[in-house]
Every structure is written in structure tokens, then in C-alpha cells.
Structure 1
Amino acid sequence: MKLPRKILSVFGTRPEAIKMFPLCHALAADERFDARICVSGQHRGMLDQVLEIANIRPDHDLDLMKPDQSLDALTAKLLTGIGAILDIEQPDIVVVQGDTATAMCGALAAYYRKIPVAHVEAGLRSGDIHHPWPEEANRKIVGSFARWHFAPTETAAAALRRENVDPGAIHVTGNTVIDALHWITARIADEPELAAGLAPVAQRFAGRRVIGVTSHRRENFGDGMAAIAAAIREIAELDNVAIIFPVHLNPNVRRIMAAELDGLDNVALLEPLDYPHFARLLDIATLMLTDSGGVQEEAPALGKPVLVMRETTERPEGVEAGTARLVGTDRQRIVAETRRLLGDPEAYAAMARAHNPFGDGKASRRIVDVLAG
């Protein structure tokens, strides 16, 4: 009888956890694998919320989060910390997801030990090494030596082929974030209390058009974040509009948003939402303003237009399909595009009804089958 292959999944941020837990479930349920999990704790509280709701119990937790640590200090701790776990576990395969420092260091530590790397959400490219920063560099590093490249879309696969990645190593699977969203919306339908914490603010804004906001990108810190805050304040002045904004814990975000938006009657600045409550926000929102990558994939699955407050996106499929529109961090453009969607039913319907190009909720199963082959 063939022994199961030991596979170690490495992740450490909230977005990674959301996109990895469906795959972790699938690996754990498959007798062809001895599945283990290492979390870095690159995000702490936000990571733990996802682990709890998804019933994920890591085998190793490095707990590396420190306030305001530099990227090089974080990278050094990640590389040596994950490397020590690899020496203990000696897995046959290491799985990383996306473009975080944890993903890059997990893959690099595996490469140093000649352990094959599987890259989930491979092939995303903005074409600008500084936007998003440092994510564009992180994912290119992983892509330079991964053995399995699990591209969420054909566009991502094409980007890898342009970089001379072996076409036989590229597998178009869809994005696991859609697997996760299907899972959590089904849970909420069965257990509404999981997202009941948004009920007071939803009731407070009943009858208004709710705009959901997320913003946290490093490249937007400073002038970009200030422009986003000013745009949100101007949007809040529109008739019959309310804004729900779970504010990232980073002080570079919180300080600016609080200064501009605190005290406005139709703006709810919330603590970061756990995954069920964030899914509920997507459900009640009319549209989303974001600089997040994941929201560009999640919101269209629920028929919600996305205005992307970044200069570039590594998810051009959404823009091409019409589910998302790039607006940058220019205050006037953010406001103008929001006004257009709120004031033009045909423009809104065109984005809301556009086909979501990011998957069908079966990506994890496809990845497991490839790794078992």
C-alpha cells in the first residue's frame, strides 16, 4: 500500500487563511495525504478569526507578528522560523498561497531544502514591481521555482507562460476564495447568528444604499490614503448613502481615516470584521470600494460592482469582464465613478450582472487531484 504523501500548508495572514482553508479541508479529508499546517502569525487576531470559524487547528504556530516591524526583519524571522519547521516535518510538498511575505519565505525555505513547492493563486501580475508593493515581487519569486503553479484563471496562466514557466506545470483551477465564499454563505444561511453582529448597523442604515469600503495597501500609505479618506467623506455627502468601513488595524490607515471620517452620522467605522461578518457586508452592500485583491474576486460572486482604489491590478480579468473598474487614489475619480454607479442604473446593472471570471467553487478539489497525481 502506498504511503500518504506528507504535505505542509504554510500561511499567515487573514486573506491567505480564507483562501487556504477550503484546500486544507480537502487535503485533510483525502487519504492520499498526511496533511499538516504551519501558520506564521503574520496577522494575528484576524488570522485566528478565520482559523476558528473554519475549524482549522495548525500543527505549528510561529506567532511572528510584532507592531511596526520592518519587512526585512519580518522576512528574516519568517525564513528561519519556517525553515526550522521544515526540518522537523520534512514534508514531501510545501503549499503556499498568493503573494505575502509568508508565502515567499515559505517557498524559499522549501527551495533551500529541495522540497517541491505548490503555489496556489499563481500567475497574478500587475506588471509594476512597486504596485502592489511588495506583493508583486513576492509572487514573482515564488513563481520562479514552484513545481506546481495553480493559476486561478487563463489570464494568470498566460502570464506564467510568458515567463517561460513549463506549460505542463501550470494548472487552471479557479480561485479557492470562491470555494471559501460558497462555504461561508452556506454556513450563514444555516446559522444566521454567525453574522448577527452587523444587524445593528444594517438596521441603522436601512433604506440607504450601503457602500462597503476596505483599504490597507502599503503603496497607498500617506498621500494615497489621505485622498481615499477625502473621497469617502465626499461620497458620504451624497443623498441616501451610508458607508460601512471595517478599518484595518495598521495605524497608517486608522489615523487618517479617524481624522477624516469620525463623527459622520452615515459612516460606520468598524473594527476589522471576522469572515462571516465580512461576507455579510458583501451581501448588504450596493457596491464595494477597495484596494484589496480578494474583494475584487469575492464581490462579483455576489453580484456587487467593485471600484478598485489602486493604480494597477494583478486581477485584470475583473476589469475585462466588467465586474471591476480601476479608479486609483485620485479623490475626484473615486467620487465620480461612485456617483456614476449610484446614478446610472444601466451602468450599475452592467457591472452587477457581468460574469465572475474567478471560479466556480471547485478549485480546491482540482488542486488536490493534481497534487495526488
Structure 2
Amino acid sequence: MKIKNNKRKICFVITAGNHYSRSKLILRALQSHRAVDLQLVVGASALLPNYGDVLSELAGDGFVCHAKIVMTLEGGNLVAMAKTAGIGITEFATVFDNLKPDIVVVRGDRYEVLSAAVAAAYLNIPIAHIEGGDVTGTIDESVRHAVTKLAHIHFPTNEQSRRRIIRMGENPRYVFNVGCPGLEFIAKNNYVVSNELVNRLGVGDIVDINKPYLVVMQHSVTSEVGLNGRNVKETLLAVAKLNIPAIWFWPNVDAGTDEISKEIRVFREHQHSKDIRFLKYLPTEQFVGLLKKCSCLIGNSSVGIKESSWLGVPVVNIGTRQQGRMKADNVITVSYDRKKIASAARKQIARGPYKRSGIYFKKNTSQRIVDILSSIELYVQKKFHA
């Protein structure tokens, strides 16, 4: 006799290393929930060794990967992004058809996430979207809102985004301001990082993190392809003039990434990047430990907007990638200009740590998400809610 499984099958999609780290508390709560059968699908850059070893992290934390999706085309250009998204739709459709989840959970605004959302939508699988409703630059802005219109359940990180989602025609009964899961992850732990680990990974000069240092994270802006190399050169020259050791993280896999990578390599070869260490990846717990000790974060990563707001880290936000996103007092935004970048960095370093901001933080974010996912009434056909 076949025993019927009444557990709700919740499929969580992980397409990048930071997706896993920011979602770890949610996954643990889902895994331990008696009424939930957790399915994990890992794909895109989360499978690329240059961007961390997510599969080993999952196994080490006691999670099982139910499917792997190889979908990322190299090239660092617009065509590679578009084709990767297309491949992803095909592969996610196959995986979802095999796993037959009751809900597919996606996070963020990258093109790989759009692939998963499109596949689930056409298979009539309800979609839950974490971190929708934000406003930013690049193609991520369009992707984020497209996923919102495909999704059935929404977990924005702040009140502005919640209201924005509702104005897009989503049912308020299915839109929940839960706060940012990544900030809850940081708030519940006290991570540290060692000199040995930082200087064992990556290339460049040895950096002593027991002394003042900078963290630099500058990704490509997909709507500025052809300009990303020139723009990152301004940051390279600014950081070099500050005469403070820096740990520079490699950019995401996006159109324009190769422009940035080339400029960094040229700079290292011809400018002798003294006191700068370049890393492609640092395990999440150690990255948090590195971030909270740094004198200033420079670049255009959302880490400067969200995680740094809670940690009080001074931030110099460069260019258009985060334009429109809600920012705390710890952020100074400047254009792609070496003098303005250096001036803002000096001001932030002299200012020192800021008071912790709660604009993206709420208590019990992960548990609230899991409580909703495990019990909310599901539906397939969406309607514009006026």
C-alpha cells in the first residue's frame, strides 16, 4: 500500500554563493519543519569553482542537493547572458517537472533567477520571491520586476518595496515585509576571519587585516557595456592613491565582467598594485568577519547598501548600479571619477563606523518566511489586483 506524503514540497533555487549564505537560516528552518519537504536546486555561478564551492558548503551544513543545473556560458557579454537565461529555462523546466514541487522559491534579481521563474510559471507551479520590489540600475531592475509579476508570494525586505509591489498589481494578502534574511544571518552570528585564510586565497600583495584596510567590490553594469573597463580604472587609480591596503573581490558573472577583469589584470601588470590583494571568493562566514572590520567598502555591490547598513560600515557607492535603492546614512554615492572616489573614501575613513541601521532588518525574518510558505493558501492563476 502506498503511503501518501502530505508534506508541502518547497523547492529552493540557489544560483550564486551569496544566495546560499543569505538564505541559510531559511533553509535550516525549512529542513526542520515537520510539514515541509525541502528540495534544493543549485545552478549557474553557484556551480563554478571560481566563485566558491557551494555544493561542499551545502553538504557540510547537512543539506542535500536534489538537482544541479549547468547553464552559464562564458564570454562576459550580453549575448552570453541572454543565452544563459534561455538555457536555464530549459534546464529548470526539466528539473521542476521531475521534482514536482508545490512551491518554487527564488531570491533576488539576476537573469538566472528569471529562468527559474519562467520555467515554474509555465509549469503552473506557484512561485515565492524574496527581495522583490527594490529599485536599482542595470538589467537587474527589469528582471526583478518581471519575477515579481510571475511570482505569487512576495517577501520584500522593506516597507517601500512592499508598497511598490502592491502598486504593481499584486494582492496585498500575499505581500509580506519580512526584512532582509542576510541581515538576520549576520545579526545571529559573530564571525571572524584570519590573516592566514585571506592571504592564502587570491593573488597580489600580502595584506595584514589586523591593521586598517579597505574592501572593494565593483561589478559590471550591464546597461553600460563598453564603459565598465574605463569606469573600474577610475576606482583602481583612486584606491591606489589612498595608500591603505585593500582586498579587492572579482566581479560577478555578467555582461561587462571581462572588461573589468582585463582592466584589473592590466593594472596589476603595469601599475604594480601595491598593497592590494585580489580575491574571487571568500567563504560567507569569513567574508562577514572581513567586512565588519574594514575601514571602508568601496564599489557598487548591494553589500554596501544592505549588509553594511546593519554593520555600520562606511561605504563609498560608485555609479548607477544601486541608484534608487534605499540607503542608510553610512553610504556616500559618487560618480566614476577617481578624485571624487578618493575624496569620499578619505571622508568615510576619517568618519569611522556608523550607528547600526535597521532599515532592512527585522527579527525572525527566516522563521516568518517559513511559517508563511508552509501554511499559506496556494493558487496558480494570477490577476491584476486593483
**TM-score (normalizing by structure 1):** 0.85
Contact 1:213 1:245 in 2 (8 A): yes
Contact 1:211 1:242 in 2 (8 A): yes
Match of 2:7 in 1: 4
Rounded Cα–Cα distance in structure 2 between residues aligned with 1:361 and 1:282: 22
In percent, how many aligned pairs have the same letter? 19
**Secondary structure at 1:257's aligned position in 2?**
helix
Bigger mean CA deviation after superposition, 249-258 or 20-29: 249-258
Seen in structure 2, the aligned counterparts of structure 1 residues 46 and 299 have a Cα distance that, compared at 3 Å, is: farther
1:1-373 matches, within 5 Å, as 3-43=6-46, 44-45=48-49, 48-54=52-58, 55=61, 56-68=63-75, 70-126=80-136, 131-133=137-139, 135-182=140-187, 185-186=189-190, 188=191, 196-198=196-198, 204-205=207-208, 208-219=211-222, 221-239=225-243, 241-248=244-251, 250-262=257-269, 263-311=272-320, 313=322, 316-318=325-327, 321-343=328-350, 345=351, 348=352, 352-360=354-362, 362-373=364-375
Bigger mean CA deviation after superposition, 96-105 or 11-20: 11-20
- Residue 117 of structure 1, CA deviation: 0.5
Seen in structure 2, the aligned counterparts of structure 1 residues 53 and 40 have a Cα distance that, compared at 3 Å, is: closer
Rounded Cα–Cα distance in structure 2 between residues aligned with 1:339 and 1:158: 37
Counterpart of 1:101 in structure 2: which amino acid? Answer: Y
Seen in structure 2, the aligned counterparts of structure 1 residues 293 and 46 have a Cα distance that, compared at 3 Å, is: farther
Contact 1:216 1:248 in 2 (8 A): yes
Deviations 1:132-170 (A, max 9, x none): 22x111111111131111011111112112222221111
Match of 2:384 in 1: none
- Residue 89 of structure 1, CA deviation: 1.2
**Secondary structure at 2:45's aligned position in 1?**
coil
Deviations 1:61-101 (A, max 9, x none): 01223321612211111001000111111111110111112
- Residue 287 of structure 1, CA deviation: 0.9
- Residue 57 of structure 1, CA deviation: 3.1
- Residue 325 of structure 1, CA deviation: 2.5
For structure 2, the 5+ residue unaligned runs are: 376-386
Contact 1:10 1:37 in 2 (8 A): yes
- Residue 214 of structure 1, CA deviation: 0.8
Contact 2:206 2:277 in 1 (8 A): no
Contact 1:261 1:267 in 2 (8 A): no
**Secondary structure at 1:164's aligned position in 2?**
coil
For structure 1, the 5+ residue unaligned runs are: none
Counterpart of 1:365 in structure 2: which amino acid? Answer: Q
Bigger mean CA deviation after superposition, 38-47 or 164-173: 38-47
Rounded Cα–Cα distance in structure 2 between residues aligned with 1:163 and 1:312: 22
- Residue 302 of structure 1, CA deviation: 2.0
Matched residues, number: 355
- Aligned-residue CA RMSD (Å): 2.7
Bigger mean CA deviation after superposition, 61-70 or 151-160: 61-70
- Residue 204 of structure 1, CA deviation: 4.0
Seen in structure 2, the aligned counterparts of structure 1 residues 365 and 74 have a Cα distance that, compared at 3 Å, is: same
Rounded Cα–Cα distance in structure 2 between residues aligned with 1:117 and 1:207: 45
